[in-house]
Amino acid sequence: MLIGMLLPMLVAAQTDQLWLANQPKESGWCNLYSDLSKKDLTEQVIEKELAQYFASVNRVKVASDKVANVRIFIDKDKTDHLGAEGFKIRRAYPIDIVAETPAGALYGVYAYLRMMRLGVEIPESLVERPAFQVRILNHWDNPDGSVERGYAGRSIWFADGKINFRSDIETYARANASVGINGTVIDNVNADPKVLSSEMLNDIKTVADRLRPYNIKVYLAVNFSSPAALGGLKTSDPLDKDVIDWWQKKVDEIYTLIPDFGGFLVKANSEGLPGPMDFGRTHADGANMLAKALKPHNGIVMWRAFVYNPQGGDRAKQAYYEFMPLDGKFDDNVIIQIKNGPVDFQPREPFSPLFGAMKNTQTMAELQITQEYLGYSDHLCYLGTMWKEFMDYPSFHDGKSVIETTLNQKLTAFSAVANTGTMKNWCGYVMAQSNWYAFGRLAWNPNLSARAIAKEWVMQTITKDEKAVNTICDIMMQSREAVTDYMTPLGLHHLMGWSDHWGPEPWTDIPGAREDWLPRYYHKADKIGLGFNRSSKNGGSNAVEQYQEPLRTMYDDPQLCPKELVLWFHHLPWDYYFNDGKTLWQSLNDHYNGGVEQVIKFQKTWQSLKGSVPESIFKEVESKLQVQLDEAQWWRDGCMLYFQTFSNMPLSFTPKYTLEQCKAKLRTKAYVDRQKD
């Protein structure tokens, strides 16, 4: 098939189009040949993508492959066993994109167009296969249209208890497919049973139909009590015959509507949500019951290991204690979804010790794109560096990195909590788009570097000016460390407001509240010092025992423990000396104030880019960086002035706020209004 298309001139970045805005360098034509005799919906997407890049026209003619300069071949005999989603690009004249399936060809076309947008030379031969089979976004969207931990407007999926049929959902689909994301859970893990109602499922079918051409499957988060809450049964016991029958019929109903439905995501027996343990059953009993209903349809169960029902003790140890005794007891279409750290998406955590420990159970990582604990959509915080730190860390299980422990399984998956909403630019901040992009690229290829991914995103979204690209990448690569420094340095965690997770609240005391919901439970500041004792000594919780050697010994000794994690594992005196010759108090001063100083540097550096980036983006980032600076100062002053009430030691900087002003800031009108957005 032939598509003649003239390239347009470079236009200003369109942040509503994410990283997909057309940016061809010069005029030219693309003649496309496809060897498919039966054009399916994905092949139509391939044609459309090439047409959009090469200036869309409305004529398509059948032509011989001999006159084409881009040829698409979908042929198992030519692919060297690329699999269902792999592709090969051969540089010659013409350019050949070869795959076993239309999905593989689609990913090949997106890779080709990415290289065109970046202006890099097409390799003589490029072969790619995705590292993970399931590369999935978890949306925490509710049927009423709200989004839990959403900072970019309302839900893109729901409004007023019904599916929201957005006209621009193809942009979302294109963005995901362009970086290899092939699944989406459209509803909150704190699931509403009504999502499984027949009325809702009929509407979800339309969503699935619109995403299918982009090789994206729909999944649903389900409430474990749905048989009782929605089906009217007296129980939701996973071993009850009527409950089993209800789930089987519901699953059959779903697949009648959506033949390629992906499966279920389940949060159970956590934060008050129902689960199998309510009936004296195990996580394996609950997961396997659902898995058996899904298996005839090739569906899967992603069962979350975030089990936050503390009965005293150390919350960081709970997932390991609940799931390790069940290792090997889950069905083969169940995969345990584990947050990257053992607590809750903190600016920095050690990796969850479950990775690699469950040798006979399939596991997957759950990351968080939305910046719940990292300044919402107001702080520049590129998460590629955080995720690479987590993924590449040695687990010391069979000599593998953390992420390698999840790759050699029958079922492999990689997930993240999305940051999308109804705001025009999808993410509430153009710089936050980079984290959506980075997740997709790492899910496809975990070996990519954080900087390489940042550079790709900047060049496709903001500018191709080499100096500006490198400058923006420098800011991005330093940004997460800056945020960690002015919020929770040295392994501190959960200092955020206990309900909203935004501003600093290390002082919070709520009468009647459970102690482990309050920040003071985690920082344990007193006249002696600061930090949570998770060592095996001096009455510590001994969470270190859940890690493999030599990590166990390293984390157990404050002199050996990495300084950036030391207060996660140890309660240290204010005058404790580190190996660098600084005391704990000096180090806290340096990190908290250093984070603020870094944001000031970001501002100055960004000003140097005026004229090198589109004006709309320049002004947006300029404005957001000012908000970030004010809040960084608030964090620094609130935490350090509060800790000073215990240490009675001098500060090394001049605070902008008093402690009382920091406390009052949470109650300002701006804060209240922000929570309504």
Active-site pick, 80, 199, 271, 332: 271
- Mean pLDDT to the nearest integer, 112-135: 94
pLDDT at 668: 67
- Mean pLDDT to the nearest integer, 139-155: 97
Least confident of 330-344, 465-479, 492-506: 492-506
Residue 5 has pLDDT above 70, yes or no: no
E strands, 504-626, in order: 529-530, 572-573
Q: Report d(CA 606, CA 226) in Å as an integer.
A: 51
Which comes out higher in pLDDT, residue 525 or 55?
A: 525
Confidence tier at 3 by pLDDT (50, 70, 90) = very low
Best CA proximity match to 346, nearest among 522, 520, 474, 194: 522
Any catalytic annotation for residue 16? no
Q: Are strands 413-417 and 400-401 parallel, antiparallel or unpaired?
A: unpaired
CATH, domain range 134-461 = 3.20.20.80
Which comes out higher in pLDDT, residue 343 or 29?
A: 343
Q: Which two tokens stand for residue 359?
A: 């040798």
Residue 312 has pLDDT above 70, yes or no: no
- Cα radius of gyration rounded to whole Å, the chain: 26
**Cis preceding linkage at 342, omega within 30:** no
Any catalytic annotation for residue 100? no
Which comes out higher in pLDDT, residue 517 or 619?
A: 619
**Cis preceding linkage at 562, omega within 30:** no
What spatial distance separates the first Cα and last Cα of the chain, rounded to whole Å? 48
- Mean pLDDT to the nearest integer, 510-521: 83
pLDDT at 8: 27
pLDDT at 195: 98
pLDDT at 29: 60
- Mean pLDDT to the nearest integer, 533-550: 97
Distances (CA, A) of 561 to 246, 534, 551, 557, 595: 51, 12, 9, 6, 22
Residue 332 has pLDDT above 60, yes or no: yes
- Alpha helices per DSSP H over 488-614: 519-523, 551-556, 566-569, 584-607
Least confident of 38-47, 541-550, 552-561: 38-47
Q: Report d(CA 133, CA 111) in Å as an integer.
A: 18
549: left (phi over 0), alpha (psi -120 to 50) or beta: beta
Domain boundaries, the chain: 15-128, 134-461, 485-532+571-676
Confidence tier at 182 by pLDDT (50, 70, 90) = very high
Q: Are strands 95-99 and 394-397 parallel, antiparallel or unpaired?
A: unpaired
CATH, domain range 485-532+571-676 = 3.90.1330.10
Q: Report d(CA 396, CA 559) in Å as an integer.
A: 20
CATH class of 15-128: alpha beta
Q: Report d(CA 160, CA 142) in Å as an integer.
A: 9
pLDDT at 51: 79
Over residues 16-73, the pLDDT tens digits come to: 999 998 765 444 566 777 776 557 899 999 988 887 887 643 333 335 666 677 888 8
How many percent of the chain have pLDDT more than 70? 92
Residue 164 has pLDDT above 60, yes or no: yes
Residue 617 has pLDDT above 50, yes or no: yes
- Mean pLDDT to the nearest integer, 133-145: 98
Mean pLDDT for the chain overall: 92
Confidence tier at 659 by pLDDT (50, 70, 90) = very high
Active-site pick, 128, 372, 456, 505: 372
pLDDT at 59: 37
How many percent of the chain have pLDDT more than 90? 83
Length of the chain: 677
Residue 675 has pLDDT above 60, yes or no: no
Residue 229 has pLDDT above 80, yes or no: yes
Over residues 265-303, the pLDDT tens digits come to: 999 999 999 999 999 999 999 999 999 999 999 999 999
Least confident of 32-46, 250-264, 371-385, 558-572: 32-46
Least confident of 177-181, 446-450, 482-486, 515-519: 515-519
Residue at token pair 């109903």:
253
Any catalytic annotation for residue 366? no
Over residues 660-673, the pLDDT tens digits come to: 999 998 766 455 45
Say if CB 351 and CB 417 are below 8 A apart: no
Residue 579 has pLDDT above 50, yes or no: yes
Active-site pick, 40, 242, 344, 465: 344
- Mean pLDDT to the nearest integer, 121-143: 96
